[in-house]
Structure 1
Amino acid sequence: MQLLSIDLLGKPLRLEGSLAGWQQLYWDNQLVSQLDADSDRQAQTEHQFSLLSGDKELNCRLETRLVWQPFSLEFVATVNGETILSGQRNSKDIEQQVPFNPPTPERKFSLIGLVSLGMKALKSAKLIKVVLASASLAAYSWLFSFQFALALIACLVFHEYGHVRAMKYFGMKTKGIYLVPFLGGLALSDEKINTRWQDVVISIMGPMFGLILSIFLLVAYLVTGEMFFAGLAVFNAFLNLFNLLPILPLDGGHILKSISFSMNSIAGIALCTAAAAGGVVLSYSLGLTLFGFLLIMGMLEVVIEWRGRHHSHLLPLDRYGQIISAIWYVGLVAGLISIIWFFASTGDELLRLPLLILGT
């Protein structure tokens, strides 16, 4: 991941590194210094390299003090022993940085390239949103009814709006919401995330907005007694609970992966595995067989990929972030299950359907 980007002698100086301990220093996008992977590396590091300015050789040095959790980076850049620049960075600076993207070489004209350009133009137009939304409305109307299809699309848009609000909170430019028939919706951004905290917040805010909507629908049902509000509330809760399953690319998969991959020790992944095992036992004891089975599958995926966590460009969560994310996730799951359970207890066969699915 990109740890530092400053201007040195009129050219960009960029430091990249990872939890594995490797660091690479680039000046004007040319590699000038490198440290091999070493998970036991001390916080204090030093990079030295030489540059030519006419006939004069410049001895450059970048000294850093790097702490991963909580993240902080102090740096001093010197040229021939004279300090040129110094400062420090924290996780907020990492969130706001624009990652370096190497320039793509120009391609000659081709029919495939022209078609690709046309597709990109189509995707960027508002027309594609209208087409997808219309197709979703037609598909859900065919499955249910026109009125319920409209309500379902409203639930999907409200869920995706939670993702959009989180993206905007982090200052990211968004492309809007796309509805995909039978697959739900997508909230797209023009920018990439830089930290796992961003990944957690953006991922969890969709189901969070879904829970808020289900609570409003629950209140509307209690006030009016209309079964339409009850059906929509339980169906919306079920969709958002499904989205919290710890399986990529679902929101729950991103959340659990961010928490697990931020743990820099065997004890960390063991604790996460134990927590997941507790969730599996609880799921089976409550009769939520499907939820417990998918929890096992999701955790296996996380454990398999855990070894490669050091090579991620995302800044890991600190201990506080890990705890807050886990509590937020568990509380959100509990809230959605409570709504499903409440409506199942009414005895209505249709309202019991989501709980029956979870018990299969």
Structure 2
Amino acid sequence: MDNNVHAEHQNYVPPELSPKKKKGLAGVIAVIIGLLVKFKAGLLLVLPKLKFVFVLLKLGKFGTTAFSMLITIVIYARIFGWMYAVGFVALLFAHEMGHYIMAKWVGLPVSGPIFIPFVGALIQLKEPPVNAKMDAQVGYAGPFAGSLAAGLLFLFYLATGSKLVLALSYTGFFLNLFNLIPVHPLDGGRVTTAISPYLWLIGIPILIYFTITSFNPILVLIIILGGIQIYKHWKGTDKEFYEVSPETRNIFAVLYFGLLAGLGSGVWYTLQILETYRRF
């Protein structure tokens, strides 16, 4: 779920926000698909030649993080310019560090963030969460940290008037909102584990809609994984995992729907401002 920009000044609005593109969430996803298809062949040719990557893996988890960030920034900068590339990767980093810090806090061993161009970023839990509460804690921390980063960018836009910063803020709001769709393995699917797994039945149709309007193989994979998770829950193979106290359930419900509302407002408001710039 990545976006990039090919411009090097602060008054640039990235192509995915152009009036020639589809509006709203489906339009952003369509841009992601185009980038994935366009550069897939080139990546397949280049990656086998990067044998020295394995040497850098010896630098440790954050050596790998730094290298994957650098590669991602370089690739994105070739398309959309350095300023947007650095800002976008920083947004991804904030999101993943939210997961990382919370995983450490609850006692789960975890890898450093790894960045994958045109896909996103991820951390790897070396041990699974022991219950739904822990799963929700780690899942929620990523969008929460990412939302704070997007909000700080919006404040910076208010202070500077930079359209590029505004576009980055919009992107940050959107990405974290998308990640809160209640489907495993998205963060929203993990958070709603502690609220009600039945919310997954809402997330699947949402992703099916996006897949129909803007086909993306990654969305298809998420739908499949989400369907498997629903089936496993229906079979009741791990009932103890989903047992949470009513208090915990209520707390996560307030946190989850509150963040949804905040991010939805952020997406709507920043998009309205960008539309205003386009009209003048």
TM-score (norm 1): 0.51
Structure 2 residues without counterparts, runs of 5 or longer: 1-53, 214-218
- Considering Cα pairs closer than 8 Å and 6+ residues apart, tell me whether 1 or 2 has the greater RCO: 2
Task: Please list the CA deviations of residues 195-245 of structure 1 after superposition, one character each: whole Å capped at 9, or x if unmatched.
Answer: 111100100110001111122111111122121221111011111111112
Rounded Cα–Cα distance in structure 2 between residues aligned with 1:260 and 1:328: 14
| Count of matched residue pairs | 214
* Structure-to-structure mapping, 1:315-330, within 5 angstroms: 316-330=243-257
2:169 counterpart of 1:242? no
Rounded Cα–Cα distance in structure 1 between residues aligned with 2:76 and 2:277: 17
- Measured on the aligned residues, the alpha-carbon RMSD in Å equals 3.5
Task: Please list the CA deviations of residues 109-155 of structure 1 after superposition, one character each: whole Å capped at 9, or x if unmatched.
Answer: xxxxxxxxx99x76966554344223211222233211111111111
Aligned with residue 161 of structure 1, among 97, 104, 122:
97
* Structure-to-structure mapping, 1:6-85, within 5 angstroms: none
Determine if contact 2:180/2:187 at 8 Å carries over to the other structure. yes
Tell me what 1:200 maps to.
Answer: 136
Tell me what 1:222 maps to.
Answer: 158
Determine if contact 1:230/1:351 at 8 Å carries over to the other structure. no
Q: For residue 173 of structure 1, give the secondary structure of its aligned residue in structure 2.
A: coil
Aligned-pair CA distance for 1:258 = 4.1
Determine if contact 2:182/2:188 at 8 Å carries over to the other structure. yes
Rounded Cα–Cα distance in structure 1 between residues aligned with 2:228 and 2:163: 39
Aligned with residue 337 of structure 1, among 255, 258, 264:
264
Judging changes above 3 Å, is the alpha-carbon distance between structure 1 residues 194 and 130 closer, same or farther for their aligned structure 2 residues?
same
Structure 1 residues without counterparts, runs of 5 or longer: 1-117, 262-268, 284-288, 353-360
Aligned with residue 123 of structure 2, among 183, 187, 190:
187
Aligned-pair CA distance for 1:302 = 5.9
Tell me what 1:264 maps to.
Answer: none
Which has a greater percent of helix? 2
Judging changes above 3 Å, is the alpha-carbon distance between structure 1 residues 343 and 205 closer, same or farther for their aligned structure 2 residues?
same
Judging changes above 3 Å, is the alpha-carbon distance between structure 1 residues 128 and 213 closer, same or farther for their aligned structure 2 residues?
closer
Which has a greater percent of strand? 1
Rounded Cα–Cα distance in structure 1 between residues aligned with 2:178 and 2:256: 13
Aligned-pair CA distance for 1:319 = 1.8
Task: Please list the CA deviations of residues 51-72 of structure 1 after superposition, one character each: whole Å capped at 9, or x if unmatched.
Answer: xxxxxxxxxxxxxxxxxxxxxx
TM-score (norm 2): 0.64
Judging changes above 3 Å, is the alpha-carbon distance between structure 1 residues 187 and 313 closer, same or farther for their aligned structure 2 residues?
farther
Tell me what 2:234 maps to.
Answer: 307
Rounded Cα–Cα distance in structure 1 between residues aligned with 2:278 and 2:256: 25
Judging changes above 3 Å, is the alpha-carbon distance between structure 1 residues 300 and 129 closer, same or farther for their aligned structure 2 residues?
closer
Judging changes above 3 Å, is the alpha-carbon distance between structure 1 residues 319 and 126 closer, same or farther for their aligned structure 2 residues?
closer
Rounded Cα–Cα distance in structure 1 between residues aligned with 2:104 and 2:61: 20
